[in-house]
Amino acid sequence: MVTIHNLHYSYRRQPVFTGVDLQLQPGHIYGLFGRNGTGKSTLLRNIAGFLFPQQGHIDALGFTPGKRQPAFLAKYFHVPEDFQLPDLSLSRWIQYIAPFYPDFNRQQFDHYAQEFAIPAVGGLRELSYGQQKKALISLALATNAPLLLMDEPTNGLDIHSKSQFRKVIAGAIDDEKCILISTHQVNDLENLIDNVTIIEDGKILFHQSMSRIAEKLLFKLSFDPEETERALYRESALKGHAVLLPNRDGQDSRPDLEMLYKAVLLNGKKINALFA
Amino acid sequence: MTTAPTNQFFHFSRWRLLVAKHWVEHRRPYLLSLLAIGGLYAAWFAFTIAIDAYAPMAPNMQFMAYITGLYAVGCLYSSMLLAPLNTKKDALPWLSLPASHLEKLLCTILFGVVLFFIAFNVVFYVVDIIMVQWSNTITFHHPRYFPGTTIRVQPVTVYNIFTADGAPIPEKNFHIFTSLYFAIQAAFLLGSVYFTRYSFIKTAIAVLLFILGFAFLQRGVIFPLLPKGWNNEFLDWARMSYDGGPPDTEVRVPKSLENVIVALGQFGLPLFFWFVTWLRLKEKEV
């Protein structure tokens, strides 16, 4: 669905990407993690065609995004971190924007709006930032665009809305769709994403599916000092240590995204070697 | 479910959607702005009627008010139309809306050039006609004479942009100020895409520098090259026995070529600037 080959991008003389290769497949929800300024939003904007690769090539849904052809624009939806909705009522906004998306479904939109408890009366600008974001996410999902790019979608959402977000997104994915969510709040995507992508130093440092992660890595609470010493990553817990170990015995454990993220940043080479 | 148009360059149904969306999102500020323009004109005309006892609402004064307002408001509005592209929160939805760059530019031109020009003229004439009538009523009921004469102050007529009676010669003969407006407005539209910050001010400076450069070319470069006693008037070079007199000898480009050059200036420049704006839109990165 999206193929990125040897992507180079820099802002003036500040390199952001120096040869990124990445493939995104339909039917998956990808979590894109990275420190501030590592280029998560830049990667999304390259895929969306807001920025043009300085070297390399991007193919998204069979299009070159930088050409910004209407047929391509109608097949993806980008939810930016910072946005401004027009000074209209919700229904009027939908009435005028929906026709641009051939697969838009009004019933679906109403369902998402109801799930998110977005007030139907009053203007969009009278809604809180979080409510506006939920309206935008509802529109994004109701367009049924095969490619959904979301930049920090949980910013500004309260705890209840974050869980609604996970529920709605999990219900919206199907075999035809691909959702790429960039965030630095990794825990917000717990139990939602099925692939983890971590960017660091202009490259993709880690790109694995959650099933492979669960297969190769063991997340556990350890009280054994020797085991703690052997861990790929460890951090003190209330009792003992939360550790990340190679999963040599095929044990079941629930991946902790935050721990994985920190472990990859600290010990990326060793962790990637386990997946080779 | 609707079927997507296949043409990726221009499709009328997509453009129509874009126009409808632009209108519904902006109609309130547009209508308020037109009311404000009408109010400012009414206030200005009322002021001139109050202070000018002899030639209130003279056609040349109407022309000056018309052309000043058209340039000021038109260029400001034009530089605001694509200015959202310079802020991330507005640019991302604008660029990702499923329509081609050409459709987006044509929608901008429709509102910024065509509809604005029509609406501006409607507002100007609604106010102007009322104020001319009012001025003439005052003149009729309170006859006034020019100082030291028995010449009575006459009623005035509404300024006509087509005949340009009462306007300066370049406007009357070639509609030069009105047609140049479209070129300058198009330059401001381009400036709003080209410059990412302070686009209005930067474009105003660029336009001013261009005009100064053109004046320097005419006066500082071409004029000194002419034989002594010859005048340089862009497409017309003449020698006169005395200032303001009829030319003894005149050299001018053929009429057909002159017409082509004037037409290019009048219609070619806006098209050129719009074309460059379209190219810049395609290259725009956010």
pLDDT digits (tens, 9 = 90+) for B174-229: 788 888 899 999 999 999 999 988 899 999 999 999 999 999 998 889 888 888 88
Residue ending a domain, choose from A154, A183, A201: A201
Please name the amino acid found at residue A20. V
ipTM: 0.91
Whether residues A15 and A79 share a domain: the answer is yes
C-alpha dist (Å) from residue B103 to B8, B84, B112? 10, 17, 14
Q: Do A147 and A239 belong together in one domain?
A: no
Whether residue A193 is found in the same domain as residue A269: no
The C-alpha of B8 sits at a distance from chain A's nearest C-alpha, in angstroms, of 6
Per-residue pLDDT band for B128 (boundaries 50, 70, 90) equals: very high
Number of domains in chain A: 2
pLDDT for the residue B96: 95
A51 touches chain B (CB under 8 A): yes
* A112 in any annotated domain: no
B-chain CB neighbours of A16 within 8 Å are: none
* DSSP string for residues in chain A: -EEEEEEEEEETTEEEEEEEEEEE-TTEEEEEEE-TTSSHHHHHHHHHTSS--SEEEEEETTB-GGG--HHHHTTEEEE-SS----SSBHHHHHHHHGGGSTT--HHHHHHHHHHTT--SSSBGGGS-HHHHHHHHHHHHHHTT-SEEEEESTTTT--HHHHHHHHHHHHHH--TT-EEEEE-S-GGGGTTT-SEEEEEETTEEEEEEEHHHHHHHEEEEEE--HHHHHH-SEEEE-SSSEEEEEE-TT-------HHHHHHHHHHHHHHHHHHH-
User: Does the pLDDT value for residue B235 go beyond 90?
Assistant: no
Task: Give the domain CATH number at A33.
Answer: 3.40.50.300
Average pLDDT over residues A92-107: 96
Q: Å from A10 to nearest chain B CA?
A: 13
Which residues in chain A are closer than 8 Å to B89, comparing Cβ atoms?
80, 82-84
Instruction: Find the farthest-apart pair of alpha carbons in chain B and give their distance in angstroms, rounded.
Output: 80
Count Cβ–Cβ pairs < 8 Å, chain A vs chain B: 82
B95 closest CB neighbour out of A68, A99, A101 = A68
Which residue of chain A is at minimal alpha-carbon distance from B279?
A: A67
Of A83, A92, A99, which is closest to B2 when you measure between CB atoms? A99
Distance in angstroms (rounded) separating the CA atoms of residues A121 and B280: 39
Give the range of the structural domain holding residue A237, as residue numbers without chain letter. 210-275
Contact across the interface for A96 and B286, Cβ inside 8 Å: no
Whether A156 is covered by a domain: the verdict is yes
Nearest CA in chain B to A151: B92
Is the minimum CB–CB distance between A9 and chain B shorter than 8 Å?
no
- The residue extents of the domains of chain B are 12-283
Q: Please tell me the distance from the alpha carbon of residue B77 to that of residue B59, in angstroms, as a whole number.
A: 26
**What distance in Å separates the CA atoms of residue B178 and residue B103, rounded to the nearest whole number?**
26
Identify the pLDDT of residue B168: 84
Kindly state whether residue A46 falls inside one of the protein's structural domains.
Answer: yes
Query: Using CA of residue A170, residue A175, residue A181, residue A186, what is the dihedral sign?
Result: positive
Q: Best of A11, A42, A50 to disrupt the B interface by mutation (most B CBs within 10 Å)? A: A50
DSSP string, B205-245: HHHHHHHHHHHHIIIIIIHHHSPTTEEE-SSEEEEESSTTS
